[in-house]
């Protein structure tokens, strides 16, 4: 039987928000930012959710968010690591334990940043349809601006064709065993990978680097912004208000 798991990452520090409150817990129209993406997964076809938070926050998050908002699809709340990829690996390990417990294999895995509150059911369904065809998919949108690639001295090196450049978002969706093995290889080769100057910035890079699978780009939404700075929170309020008016 095919099952899907979502790993929702909420282990960041949010230093650029200039706030003592970590951004995943900041209120967006009276609800914590983390609430919004969890709500979409809770109401979707996804079977289980693994929530990854900062070490020491597991019990509080489980009580104040998971239980309070009745997110009963959250199968585990686990602590993340130093880097984003460490947190994803922790989520995959937790999912693996649940697989053994249920004696059932997950077929597909969604990995999503909780700092993107405007995930929609439409984007979930679109990416799920595509991953079943292509094994590895990332949500994103074509860029609107001309992009310049700089050299190490800060001069323009070249200008890529704008119609081929995408801004990548989350969720990033994979066959479960594909992404699990890729992350296992990354952790085993982490020291060499870093020594080679490879900086792992998203899950697609892990699959690109440690497997032979190509990654398919899937249309997301320009509303699927990442909350990084205080200005982003203002934009998020406007997006949320516009959605509610529809």
**Dihedral (Cα; 116, 120, 42, 174), 10-degree rounding:** -80
Q: Comparing C-alpha atoms, which of 33, 4, 188 is closest to residue 104? A: 4
So what's the pLDDT on residue 1? 63
Percent of the chain at pLDDT exceeding 70: 92
CATH number at residue 226: 3.90.550.10
Residue 24: predicted pLDDT: 87
Q: What is the per-residue pLDDT for 97?
A: 79
- Check residues 214 and 104 and name the one with the higher pLDDT: 214
Query: What does the pLDDT average to over 213-229?
Result: 95
Tell me what the mean pLDDT of segment 106-114 comes to.
Answer: 92
CA distance 225 to 27: 16
The domain in which residue 143 lies consists of 4-245
CA gap 35, 117 in Å, rounded: 8
Residue-wise pLDDT tens digits, 137-178:
999 999 999 999 999 999 999 999 999 999 999 999 999 999
C-alpha–C-alpha distance, residues 137 and 127, integer Å: 7
Q: What is the mean pLDDT of the chain?
A: 92
103: confidence class by pLDDT, cuts 50, 70, 90:
very low
Range from 97-111, 148-162, 198-212 carrying the lowest mean pLDDT: 97-111
Confidence of residue 9 (pLDDT cuts 50, 70, 90): very high
* Residue 56: band (very low, low, confident or very high) from pLDDT cuts 50, 70, 90: very high
Q: What is the DSSP string of 29-59?
A: TTEEHHHHHHHHHHTSS--EEEEEE-TT-HH
The whole-angstrom separation of Cα 45 and Cα 63 is 24
Angle value at C-alpha 140, between 232 and 21, nearest 5 degrees: 30
Q: Where are the beta strands (DSSP E) in the chain?
A: 4-10, 27-28, 31-32, 48-53, 74-79, 108-113, 136-142, 149-150, 156-158, 166-175, 216-219
Q: Which is nearest to 98 in space by CA: 127, 77, 120, 123?
A: 77
What whole-number percentage of the chain has pLDDT above 90?
Answer: 79
> Full-prediction pTM beyond 0.75?
yes
Pick from 17-31, 65-79, 190-204: least confident = 17-31
Distance CA 103, CA 91 (A): 18
- Overall number of domains in the chain: 1
Reduced to 3 states, what is the DSSP secondary structure of residue 117? coil
Mean pLDDT of 6-19: 79
Contact 174, 203 (CB under 8 A): yes
């Amino acid at each position: 039987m095919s099952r899907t798991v979502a790993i929702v990452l909420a282990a960041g520090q949010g230093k650029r928000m200039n706030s003592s409150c970590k951004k995943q817990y900041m209120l967006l129209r009276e609800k914590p930012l983390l609430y919004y993406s969890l709500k979409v997964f809770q109401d979707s076809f996804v079977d289980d959710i693994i929530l990854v938070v900062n070490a020491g926050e597991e019990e509080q998050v489980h009580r104040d968010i998971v239980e309070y908002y009745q997110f009963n699809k959250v199968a585990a709340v686990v602590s993340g690591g130093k880097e984003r990829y460490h947190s994803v690996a922790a989520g995959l390990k937790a999912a693996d334990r649940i697989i053994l417990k249920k004696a059932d294999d997950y077929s597909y895995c969604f990995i999503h940043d909780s700092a993107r509150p405007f995930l929609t059911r439409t984007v979930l369904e679109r990416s799920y349809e595509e991953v079943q065809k292509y094994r590895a998919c990332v949500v994103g949108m074509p860029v609107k601006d001309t992009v310049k690639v700089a050299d190490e001295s800060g001069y323009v090196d070249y200008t890529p064709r704008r119609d081929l450049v995408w801004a990548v978002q989350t969720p990033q969706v994979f066959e479960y065993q594909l992404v699990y093995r890729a992350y296992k290889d990354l952790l085993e080769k982490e020291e060499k990978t870093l020594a080679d100057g490879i900086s792992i910035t998203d899950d697609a890079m892990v699959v690109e680097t440690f497997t032979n699978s190509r990654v398919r780009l899937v249309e997301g939404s320009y509303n699927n912004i990442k909350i990084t700075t205080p200005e982003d929170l203002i934009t998020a309020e406007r997006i949320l208000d516009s959605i509610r008016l529809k």
